[in-house]
Chain A
Amino acid sequence: GDSVTQMEGPVTLSEEACLTINCTYTATGYPSLFWYVQYPGEGLQLLLKATKADDKGSNKGFEATYRKETTSFHLEKGSVQVSDSAVYFCALKGNNAGNMLTFGGGTRLMVKP
């Protein structure tokens, strides 16, 4: 079945450092890919998405490119802020699996001033 693998956290960075959170997936066909963010005490918020190969999703300075050849969707940000501290989840929606999302394990990001 479909699966998503993320790098384990926590990831601890200083403010203005570069961020990369790795995400790889296994799925048949051409899934849609998502990053969700969960701030402390809140629900999952959609951060960005990409629906086909080579698409780049972007939002709030975060970017991720759908790489079919490496089955990856790594999350990147050039300069993180303390307010980016949260848990980040990579997820996919398969072509043949209706609307259900399959999530990775989540990566906690801590940004220190």
Chain B
Amino acid sequence: EPEVTQTPSHQVTQMGQEVILRCVPISNHLYFYWYRQILGQKVEFLVSFYNNEISEKSEIFDDQFSVERPDGSNFTLKIRSTKLEDSAMYFCASSFYEQYFGPGTRLTVT
């Protein structure tokens, strides 16, 4: 069964560093998403991407964040200058109708 994959599974970085989280969505899906879950809190929507552009974004998705689909298969989330409060589990999802989620990347900012 097709699935969304994410790499790495765990990323540790120092405050102020740039990180790129990678996702491979399901191949025939048209919409791509990033969500995050800070430990002990709700899963929060960050951004959705359709037809090579952002279709929606939340207040969390500020200028420090960017997304890209650099080729036909990958979908990336870049955080330019990480802060301690960016530590969270980041989930990628893709959809044709329902959203299918990847296993997540745990980002730890020290």
Residues of A within 8 A of B (CB): 34, 36, 41-46, 49, 89, 91, 97-106
What's the Cα separation between A39 and B102 when bound, in Å? 12
CB distance from A34 to the nearest CB of B (A): 8
**Interface contact A45-B101, CB-CB below 8 Å:** yes
Beyond the given A46-B100, A105-B42, please list 20 additional residue pairs across the A-B interface where CB-CB is below 8 A.
Answer: A36-B101, A43-B4, A43-B91, A43-B104, A44-B43, A44-B91, A44-B93, A44-B101, A45-B101, A89-B43, A91-B43, A97-B56, A98-B56, A100-B33, A100-B58, A102-B45, A103-B42, A104-B42, A105-B41, A106-B42
Minimal Cβ-Cβ distance residue in A for B30: A99
The A/B interface has a contact count, at CB < 8 Å, of 52
- B43 pairs with A103, CB closer than 8 A: yes
User: Assuming A43-B104, A44-B43, A89-B43, is B91 touching A101 (CB within 8 A)?
Assistant: no
Q: Which residues of B contact A (CB under 8 A)?
A: 4, 6, 31, 33, 35, 41-45, 48, 55-56, 58, 91, 93, 95, 98-104
Query: B103 is contacted by which of A34, A41, A103, A106 (Cβ under 8 Å)?
Result: A41
User: Please, how many angstroms separate the alpha-carbon atoms of A101 and B97 in the complex?
Assistant: 12
Q: Which residues on B sit within 8 Å (CB–CB) of A43?
A: 4, 6, 91, 101-104
| Nearest chain A CB to B99 CB, angstrom units | 6
Is the pair A99, B31 in contact by a Cβ cutoff of 8 Å? yes
Main secondary structure of the interface of B (DSSP, over half): strand
B6 (CB) vs chain A CBs: closest residue: A43
In the bound complex, do residue A46 and residue B98 qualify as a contact, i.e. CB atoms below 8 Å apart?
A: yes
The 9 closest A-B pairs by CB, nearest first: A44-B101, A43-B103, A103-B43, A43-B101, A100-B45, A98-B56, A105-B42, A43-B102, A103-B42
Partner of B45, one of A41, A45, A101, A104: A101
A99–B42 contact, CB under 8 A?
A: no
A31 and B73 alpha carbons, distance in the complex (Å): 30
Using CB atoms, name the residue of chain A closest to B40.
A105
Residue picked from B45, B58, B95, B102, most chain A C-beta under 10 Å: B45
